[in-house]
Structure formats: C-alpha cells, structure tokens
Amino acid sequence: MRGYLDHLTVERGLSGNTLASYRRDLDRYLVTLAARGVTDLAATTAAEIAGHVAALRDGDADHPPLSAASAARATSAVRGLHRFAVREGLVADDASRDVKPPSLPRRLPKALEVDEVLRLLESVGGDGPLDLRDRALLEFLYGTGARISEAVGAAIDDLDLTGGSATLHGKGGRTRIVPVGGYARAALEAYLVRSRPGLVAGGRGSPAVFLNARGGPLSRQSAWAILRKAAGVAGLPVDGSRAVSPHTLRHSYATHLLDGGADVRVVQELLGHASVTTTQVYTLVTVERLREVYATAHPRAHS
C-alpha cells in the first residue's frame, strides 16, 4: 500500500487531499482483509473485494454507510492497488478486475442564469483593498472557469494580462493556458495596482495573486466565504442544494459557453478535463434548457 501511495504521489501527482482519502480507504480495506485472515493480496478473491464494497454501503458499528460517490472512490482505490500489484509483479492476477464500483446517479451541474451571474459580480462594490480583491476573484473565477484551488494557487507570474491569458495549475500536475476576458482583466488590474501592493506589504512577499488581509495567500475557505457573502447580497441561495459555490461559477462558465455555440472540445480544453466525457454532461444541461424554452414558447409543445 505504501508503494502504491508513493506511486500516486510521484508519478500521478495527486493532491494531498486525494491521497489522504485513498489512504483512509485502503486502511479500511486492509482491516477488512485482516479480519478475514487474508494477509497477502495474492490470496484475495473477487468475492471478498465485492463483499468489502457492499459493507461500505451498509456501514457497521464503527462506520456510517458511505454514499455511492464515496463508495465508488473507495472501490477505485482498491482496484488501483490491485492493478499496481500486478504491474509490479507482486501478484499474478488482478482479483478486482470484475468488481464494479456502485453506480452514481447522474446529476446535472448547477448553473446560474447570466443575469444571476451579473448580479453576483455586481454585488461586490466599493474601492477598499478587500473589495477590489473580492471583485477580482469572482471575475477571475467566472471569466476563466478556474477551480477554486487553481484560483487561490495562481501566482503573479501566471498572469499575462497584456496578452489576456492566465496559466492555471490543475489536477494531476496538468497546466493549461486560458483566456482572461476584458471584465476580468479590468478587475484584476484594479486590484493589482490599487490593492495588492498594500496587502503584500503587510506579509512576507507572497507571490500568490490573491492575498488575505495579512498579506498571505488567500485560502480556499476564505475564497468560499467571499463568494457566499456576495451570493447573499445578490439574493442568491447560500444554503441547501442550490447554494452558490465556487464550482457553481465553473459550471456556469461551461454552460454559458456551450449556450453561446462553443464546441464541446474547446470547452474541454478550457476546463482542463482529461476526458471529453466529463465535459459532455454540460451538453445535457443545454438540451434541458432548449426543452424548457420549447415547452414555454411553442404553441404546439403540449397536447
């Protein structure tokens, strides 16, 4: 297991959070095997692996039942461990090959209407240092489709505002260059010229684009709080299943691009998705949108 986690760290470049989740999943798997007297992966059977997955969904005295998504992640960790053992020559066969993860319900991404996005962005006013930062952050998230981790992880050297682009550092160590629109550029320039110098002077010279009030890099939690506050001012949901989150702006970015006629492959590149299959879920959103418009506008839509 340690060898597999080292492989994920060095060769796959997985994030610390993902690695921690995999470690917990695999620790629990090894406990399950030990309870059944199995101490060698070569002695593991598909039935034992499938039983472990079923137990994750059912829960036990020490663990609550896992959701389908969490159980699917845990299954992926277990299958990855077995594949790694085969590649390393530690076992001859992959006992997990035919064990399938739980099926996940297809959930369409939540996206804001364009006028809701405008309300959200315009809810951050004022010329104070933190006001300028907050507006620049929200404009950057919506203007580039960046993940929240990519936004708070961006450095000054990643910005090319003259050329209208930014370099984002995504999952698995992948980087991509994305365009930065005029509104986002203007907000960033106002922040960088009128706000950031004062913030950085109070810290230790952090290269991060977005800084907190003490001059250090803005955290993901603080960025989330900024968005939540802006959503409240704009009259958008801040609680429940429709609550506005940083990922909501990313979903909105993708949906609005596709609504405007962008090719799904282009949107895939802009979002930094490894597979176009991940991006294609957004095409379902636009189809649903077309159905709604048709149902309300066409005189023969209903019998």
Tokens 């739980």 found at: 102
Concatenated DSSP letters for 249-297?
Answer: HHHHHHHHHHHTT--HHHHHHHHT-SSHHHHTHHHHHHHHHHHHHHHHH
Q: Is 256 a catalytic residue?
A: no
Distance between CA atoms of residues 294 and 289, nearest Å = 9
Q: Choosing from 22, 29, 142, 282, which is the catalytic residue? A: 282
Active site residue 282: yes
Q: How far apart are the first and last CA of the chain?
A: 61
Q: Can 273 be counted among the known catalytic residues? A: yes
> What tokens were used for 98?
């035919």
3-state helix, strand, coil in the chain (%, to 5): 60, 5, 35
Residue 160: name the closest of 130, 137, 192, 129 by CA. Answer: 192
Q: Does 97 qualify as catalytic in the annotation? A: no
Give the active site residue among 52, 73, 82, 147.
147
| 23, 83, 171, 228: the active-site residue | 171
- Catalytic member of 185, 250, 251, 256: 250
Tell me which of 247, 265, 291, 294 is the catalytic residue: 247
247 is known as an active-site residue = yes
DSSP 165: E
Q: How far apart are CA 191 and CA 114, in angstroms?
A: 24
Catalytically annotated residue among 73, 79, 256, 273 = 273
Distance CA 226, CA 222 (A): 6
Let me know if 29 is a catalytic residue. Answer: no
Q: Is residue 16 a contact partner of residue 69, using CB atoms and an 8 Å limit?
A: no
Alpha-carbon dihedral of residues 119, 122, 124, 127, nearest 10 degrees?
-170
213 DSSP assignment: T
Residue from 19, 81, 90 nearest 49 by CA:
81
State the CB neighbour count (10 A cutoff) for residue 85: 22
Amino acid type, 112 = L
Active site residues: 147, 171, 247, 250, 273, 282
